Structure 1
Amino acid sequence: MQRFANPLLRHVIHRGYFDAASQTQCLQYLRALRTLQLKGFNTVFLGETDIPESLITGDKTAEEDSLSWPIWTLVHAGSSQGWVPWRYRLLLRDKLFIDWQEAIFQELCDSLTLSYGKCVIVTRDKRQSTHVGTKEVKETGTQPPVPPVIYMSSIKCCPEIARANGHELLAVPSSYSYLYPVDVAWSSLKWFIINNRQGFALRSIGRTYSYRCILFSDLIMKGIEKMTPRKWKVAINRVKRWENYYLDTFS
């Protein structure tokens, strides 16, 4: 089997990721990111992950039954220094009004201003297509790398709100998810939940009934703490190596 000379490329990567349109989109994003970093903007990655109740309880349900189970969405952000000093949000998915969705992003921007000064907030747009090699993208290769509004599952991120607080907002190209280290944090959290949920469960047995109570908030908090600043630094350094490679290759 042929080996890549660059150790960063020892991954299975879809061939379509390297078409001209995809490269253009990636280069736009990276140039915008580096320009802001050189201007003194701190990089903060904002992300979210869904936590089905079945993951917390460990109950294996049929797919049709799981549709009626509550799904929680965890929203948090991290930088090279670790999780940002902001009270993460654990939200019941699809139960937020639009005003609340914007208020959460506004609160994050306020917190970042106090803690870090001006930041470039990097996130993913849930409405991006999974493949960017389309005619529309090829013909508009000079378009800004961020849409007017970025929709996550539970909150709405507005570039105007970010700029009003001294920040900038960017969206990672959908085909280059490994330039987005937040997924490493979510993987760490979910493995912690799977391996430790029994330690956060209380069981009560009465004369005619029994039930189990899981300390959900404590379980999530401890899982978040397991993604330490050292682990964040490792994940972000890996992303930087990819960024350098693409800037050298696509430019």
Structure 2
Amino acid sequence: MQHFANPLLRHVIYTGCFDAASKRQCLQYLRALRTMQLNGFNTVFLGETHIPESLVTGEKIAKEANLRWPVWTLVHASSSQGWVPWRYKLLLRDDLPIHQQNGIFQELCDSLTASYGKCVIVTRDKTQPMHVGAKDGKEPETGTLPPVPPAIYMSGIEFCPEVARANGHEFLVVPSSYNYLYPMDVAWSCLKWFIINNRKDFALRSIERTHSYRCILLSDLIVKGIEKMTPNKWKITMNRVKRWENYYLDTLS
């Protein structure tokens, strides 16, 4: 009996520690975010979403074949007022020249400075969950900034916290276990539903003697899809995020 009980006990202990670390990480993130907001930083959420060619064309293909099809990555940012006044990037996956990588984030920082002043840029690190916190179980101090990776990559673009700080901004990573604190997923869902429901309206078909082909106005489709996430929808989404922030601050403190 002892032979079977030990693995179960280890699993329970590991899960409990994992949850405690995740809660400490969330509390540290929220306290840092609120402190920056009180100090005059505007909150900007930065994110990416992948748009496979099958989503644009509507063709149903096998999962294995889908992995070989082109995939575009859309990188954009938003604030409580809506999409930030920055030209989003629509890139073919892994097709961005290396010499252009650093310039894109600098371009975003310049745009944020001109439009909002100093900002706290919040994003999500998909590479690995970051479970941090004091090993002795103590709560993090209010003024302690949560650790962030040296750089986060989106479709080959490097987003470096040091570049953000050099431009007067700060950089935070939303805890991976708390998706309700990250509003970009709502925007991506809105965009993709628009693509699914309206892709036929952005397609041109040409019929020749021996063959026919279809041209999809991808850029126009993306622009209209982004516009569907209106400032009013952003306001509703951000208010929902704010309620979740208040909830976690109350329950985890």
Report deviation, 1:155: 2.0
Given candidates 124, 139, 158, the residue that maps to 2:135 is 139
What does residue 57 of structure 1 align with? 57
Secondary structure, in 3 states, of the residue corresponding to 1:191? helix
1:151 is matched with 153
Distance 2:88 2:251 in 1: 37
The amino acid of 1:36's aligned partner reads: M
Q: TM-score, normalised by structure 2?
A: 0.87
Percent identical residues: 76
- AA aligned to 1:67 is L
CA pair 16-101 structure 1, distance change in 2 beyond 3 A: farther
In structure 1, the residue matched to 2:173 is 171
Tell me whether 1:236 sits opposite 2:232 in the alignment. Answer: no
Deviations 1:147-194 (A, max 9, x none): 222233442211110011110010000000110000000000000000
* TM-score computed with the length of structure 1 as normaliser: 0.87
Larger radius of gyration: 2
Which letter maps to 1:74?
L
Q: Unpaired segments of 5 or more residues in structure 2?
A: 1-14
Task: Name the Cα RMSD after superposition.
Answer: 2.0
> Match of 1:69, SS?
coil
In the other structure, the counterpart of 2:11 is none
Matched residues, number: 233
1 CA distance for matches of 2:153 and 2:207?
45
The whole-number CA distance in structure 1 between the counterparts of 2:198 and 2:92 is 22
Report the Cα offset of residue 57 of structure 1. Answer: 0.4
* Worse-superposed segment, 224-233 or 103-112: 103-112
More displaced 10-residue stretch of structure 1: 63-72 or 171-180: 63-72
1:24-103 matched pairs, under 5 angstroms: 24-103=24-103
Map 1:183-202 → 2, pairs under 5 A: 183-202=185-204
Q: Paired residue for 1:128?
A: 128
Structure 1 residue matching 2:150: 3-state secondary structure = coil
Q: Judge conservation of contact 2:91–2:155 (CA < 8 Å) in 1.
A: no
1:78-116 Cα distance to aligned partner (Å, 9 max, x none) = 111000000000011122244422221111001000111
Answer whether contact 1:179 1:242 (CA < 8 A) is retained: yes
Unaligned 5+ segments in structure 1 are 1-14
Q: Is contact 2:118-2:168 (8 Å) kept?
A: yes
Match of residue 164 from structure 2:
162
Which residue does 2:6 correspond to in 1?
A: none
Cα distance in structure 2, aligned partners of 1:239 and 1:116 = 20
| Compared CA separation, residues 145 and 239, structure 1 to 2 (3 A) | farther
CA–CA distance in structure 2, aligned partners of residues 191 and 153 of structure 1: 22
Which whole-Å CA distance do the structure 1 matches of 2:152 and 2:176 have between them? 13
Compute the displacement of 1:30 (Å).
0.4
